[in-house]
């Protein structure tokens, strides 16, 4: 096998420079542990941005994938397959909605939600087509397509990609009054992350989502929750909206839905909303393919059977309590829910991150000053203790 150095050099030579990965090559993974070509092992505290809630190579999900892999992998939606029906039924049940629309990546699910809102606005709410407006928040992260970066406030994600898709209004995150003030007769939806992940694990003020729900209902606009990162137990509830007992009109899901194996995304909503789609009005060649459906179905089964929300809540409480014992005046905030935890420093966090990685803990800074700790939900207590010992040592000053 090539060495880490050689692999990195080759990747940099032939791969486009649209990412700046840490100098770690992962060649094997099991649960919360990964190893590099030289045999050094690490604790994975990033979990592929929450796509690895089940850990690396969960044996039951791998088995479900293998079984389907040998039977049937792709039909396109020109024909039926025998797995999609169960996937849709179980995901509808899990979200308490009547219907599911499967896609592949998180960005595609967000695009699907945007199309849902616009078409619902035109056909049901009666907003003239072309006038539909969607409200989003500052520092949002919803993906990388041209339309999605058009509503981003991250200049680095936007610059040079014009012309931008119109029809979005940006307001302050966590401010329900700002939402009420921004609504016009042409507003069709509010698209929001229940906890902003990429912005640095920003938890909105208590009661925010409840107020958002009321405002959306009162003004007849769709409340679209982007739970791509927060969904499927990551924050200690099945969906982060559940922390405030709030039910959005549309769930946007991805990442962990693919069981850490392949891209699987979807939106779910009730029939009065999703019935705006008719044959030919939206779709995806790979969306709902039997392999993805088998993997997603197994992921949903495990979430419920093994009570992942409870696991994440209990392990998260332990994790954050240990982090709070760290003595370092440069730490200005520790926040999060469940196993989605951010530690914010008064200055750049990259030096700490480099030291963590050298010491065997994979983590990454977001927005320069915040380190995200989001281990797989399956991490064991002994593994957590060992990882926390390293983390506490490195972060103490």
Binding site residues, ligand PLP, CB under 6 A: 49, 105-107, 110, 141-143, 193, 197-198, 226, 228-229, 254-255
**Is the Cβ–Cβ distance between 195 and 240 less than 8 Å?**
yes
Strand partners, 303: none
Instruction: Please choose, from the candidates 359, 348, 347, 368, the residue with its C-alpha nearest in 3D space to the C-alpha of residue 388.
Output: 359
Under a CB-based contact definition with an 8 Å cutoff, are residues 54 and 19 in contact? no
Please identify, using beta-carbon distances, which residue of 143 and 204 lies nearer to ligand PLP.
Answer: 143
Q: What is the DSSP string of 174-228?
A: T-HHHHHHH--TTEEEEEE-SSBSTTTSBPPPTTHHHHHHHHHHHTT-EEEEE-T
Q: How many Å is the maximal CA-CA distance in the chain?
A: 61
Strand 250-253 and strand 41-44: the pairing is unpaired
Instruction: In angstroms, give the least distance from the CB of 107 to ligand PLP.
Output: 3
Token duo for residue 93 = 């049940």
Of the chain, the end-to-end C-alpha distance in Å amounts to: 39
Active site residue 43: no
Q: Which is nearer to ligand PLP, 127 or 342 (CB)?
A: 342
Neighbour-count burial for 19-41, b at 16+ CB within 10 Å, e otherwise: eeeeeebeeebebbbbebbeeee
Nearer to ligand PLP, 107 or 127 (CB): 107
Residue 12 beta carbon to ligand PLP: minimum distance, rounded to whole angstroms: 22
Q: 54, 87, 141, 319: which is the annotated catalytic residue? A: 141
Measured between alpha carbons, how far is residue 243 from residues 55, 143, 194, 236, 237 in Å?
24, 24, 9, 9, 7
Q: Which is nearer to ligand PLP, 127 or 288 (CB)?
A: 288
Of 139 and 359, the one with the shorter C-beta distance to ligand PLP is: 139
Active site residue 226: yes
Q: Which residue has the tokens 């963590």?
A: 356
Q: Is 87 in the active site?
A: no
d(CA 206, CA 196): 14
The residue sitting closest to ligand PLP, measured at its beta carbon, is: 106
Annotated catalytic residue: which of 226, 237, 298, 364?
226
DSSP string, 46-101: SHHHHTTTT-BT-HHHHHHHHHHHTT-----TTS--TTHHHHHHHHHHHHT-SEEE
CB of 229 to ligand PLP, least distance (A): 3
- Minimum separation from the CB atom of position 337 to ligand PLP (A): 14
Q: Least distance from C-beta 227 to ligand PLP, angstroms?
A: 8
Nearest distance in Å: CB 200, ligand PLP: 12
Give the residue with the Cβ less far from ligand PLP, 215 or 228: 228
Distance of closest approach, residue 263 Cβ to ligand PLP, in angstroms: 6
Say if residues 14 and 21 touch (Cβ distance below 8 Å): no
Give 127 or 223: the residue with its C-beta nearer to ligand PLP: 223
Structure tokens at 226: 């982007």
Q: 255, 298, 315, 364: which one is catalytic? A: 255
Catalytic residue numbers, as ranges: 141, 226, 255
């Amino acid at each position: 096998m090539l060495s880490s150095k050689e692999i990195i050099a080759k990747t940099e030579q032939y791969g486009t420079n649209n990412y700046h990965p840490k100098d770690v090559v992962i060649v094997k993974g099991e649960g919360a542990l990964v190893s590099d070509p030289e045999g050094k092992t690490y604790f994975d505290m990033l979990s592929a941005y929450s796509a690895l809630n089940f850990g690396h190579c969960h044996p039951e999900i791998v088995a479900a994938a293998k079984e389907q892999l040998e039977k049937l992998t792709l039909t396109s939606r020109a024909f039926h397959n025998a797995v999609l029906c169960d996937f849709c039924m179980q995901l509808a049940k899990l979200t308490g909605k009547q219907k599911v629309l499967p896609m592949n990546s998180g960005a595609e699910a967000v695009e699907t939600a945007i199309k849902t809102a616009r078409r619902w606005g035109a056909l049901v709410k009666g907003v003239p087509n072309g006038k539909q407006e969607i409200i989003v928040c500052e520092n949002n992260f919803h993906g990388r397509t041209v339309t999605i970066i058009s509503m981003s406030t991250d200049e680095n994600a936007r610059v040079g990609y014009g012309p931008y898709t119109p029809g979005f209004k940006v307001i302050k995150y966590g401010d329900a009054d700002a939402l009420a003030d921004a609504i016009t007769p042409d507003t069709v939806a509010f698209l929001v992350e229940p906890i902003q992940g990429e912005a640095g694990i920003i938890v909105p003020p208590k009661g925010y989502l409840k107020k958002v729900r009321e405002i959306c209902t009162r003004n007849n606009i769709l409340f679209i929750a982007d739970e791509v990162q927060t969904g499927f137990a990551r924050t200690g509830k099945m969906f982060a909206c559940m922390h405030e007992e709030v039910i959005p009109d549309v769930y946007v899901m991805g990442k962990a839905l693919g069981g850490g194996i392949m891209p699987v995304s979807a939106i779910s909503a009730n029939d009065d909303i999703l019935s705006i789609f008719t044959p030919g009005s939206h779709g995806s060649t790979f969306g709902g393919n039997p392999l993805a459906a088998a993997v997603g179905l197994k992921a949903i089964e495990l979430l419920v059977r093994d009570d992942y929300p409870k696991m994440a809540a209990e392990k998260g409480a332990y994790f954050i309590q240990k982090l709070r014992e760290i003595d370092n005046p440069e730490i200005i905030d520790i926040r999060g829910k469940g196993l989605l935890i951010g530690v914010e420093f008064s200055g750049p966090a990259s030096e700490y991150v480099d030291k963590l990685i050298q010491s065997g803990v994979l983590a990454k800074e977001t927005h320069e000053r915040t380190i995200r700790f989001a281990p797989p939900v399956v991490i064991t207590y002994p593994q957590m203790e060992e990882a926390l010992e390293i983390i506490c040592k490195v972060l103490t000053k």
